[in-house]
Amino acid sequence: MNKIITLLSISTLLVFCSCKKTNQVINTTDQDDILKVQIYQVKKEDVPLTLTYLGNFKPYKEAVLGTSIPGKIEKIYYDEGSTVKQGDLLIQMSSELLLQAEAEYRTLEKDYQRVKNLAEKQSISQQDYDHVKAKYDAATARYNLLKSNTEIRAPFDGIIAKHLAHEGENYFFSASLEIGSTFTSGIVQLVKINPIYFEFEISEKDLTFIKNKTPVRAIANIYPKDTIIGYVDFISPTLNPTKATATIRIKINNATMKYKPGMTGKAFINVIR
C-alpha cells in the first residue's frame, strides 16, 4: 500500500512539474520576439528614364555662293571668319558683260519710254509698241541676271566660313552630274551659327517621346560640364530604311558663338515608361 501511495505521489509530482515547465515556456514568449509584418498594396507605376543620343552641331543656315555665269573674280570683300549682314556685297565679278548689257538696257529703256508716250496719244500702232516693249523687257531681264551674277550679296546674316576660290581666278559653274549628289562648287561658304542646330538620330521605338518644341538637354563633348537646353525644331518625315532611325534637330541659342559646326556631343531626353 505504501508503495502504491509513493508511486502516486511521484507521478503527481512529475505531472505538476511538467505542467509548470510548460507554463514557463509559454510565459517567457515576449511580445518583442513576434515578427511584425506590414502589408502593402501592389501598384503599377511608370518609371522615369533618360535616353542618351550621340550627335553633331550643325549650322542653322549655310550656303555656297557662286555665279551661274563664268567670269573673273575681281574682288572678295570679306576674309574667312568675317561677320556679314544680309545684303552685304561679298564678291565682285568681272563686269564686261554687265556693262554691255547695261548699255543695251539703257538704250531700250529710252526707246520704250518714247513709244509708251506715243501709244498714250494713239500715235503708234499696237504692233510697233509691243515690239519695242518686248525688246525692252528682254534687255531688262538680261541686265538684272548679269547684275545678280556680277555682284554677289549675302542672302542672310552669317559668317564667311571658307573661301572656295580666290581673287583673280576665272570661275566656272560646275555642278555634279551624279544622281543624288548636291552642288558644292562655289566661291565662298556662308554659315549662320546663332542659333545653332544639334542633330542626332533617334530610334523608331523612341519616336513617340518626341514632338515639335520638346525641350532637350545637350552637351558638347569639349564642354562636358556645360549643359544647354534646346528645343526640337525638326523631325525627319521619313526613317532611314537600314537603321530604322529618324533625324532630329534641336535649336540652341549660341549668342557667344561658343559652339561650332562639327563639334560632337550628346542629347538627353527624359521619358516615362
Residue 41: pLDDT above 70? Answer: yes
What DSSP element (H or E) covers 97? helix 96-120
- At residue 80, the pLDDT reads 97
pLDDT digits (tens, 9 = 90+) for 175-218: 554 544 444 479 999 999 999 999 999 999 999 888 999 999 99
Residue 171's pLDDT is what?
87
Residue 12 has pLDDT above 90, yes or no: no
For Cα atoms 264, 183, 99, give the angle at the middle one, nearest 5 degrees.
Answer: 125
Strand order in the sheet with 151-153: 151-153, 89-93, 71-76, 170-171
User: 63 versus 37: which is more confidently predicted?
Assistant: 63
Give the chain's mean pLDDT. Answer: 85
82-121 pLDDT, tens digit per residue, is 999 999 999 999 988 888 989 999 999 999 999 999 888 8
- Domains (ranges, CATH) in the chain? 49-59+195-272 (2.40.30.170), 67-186 (1.10.287.470)
Average pLDDT score over residue span 135-164: 93
Q: Which of 165-174, 219-228, 242-251 has the lowest mean pLDDT?
A: 165-174
**Buried (b) or exposed (e) across 119-151, using 16+ Cβ within 10 A?**
beeeebeeeebeebbeebeebbebbeebeebbe
pLDDT of residue 27: 52
Reduced to 3 states, what is the DSSP secondary structure of residue 140?
A: helix
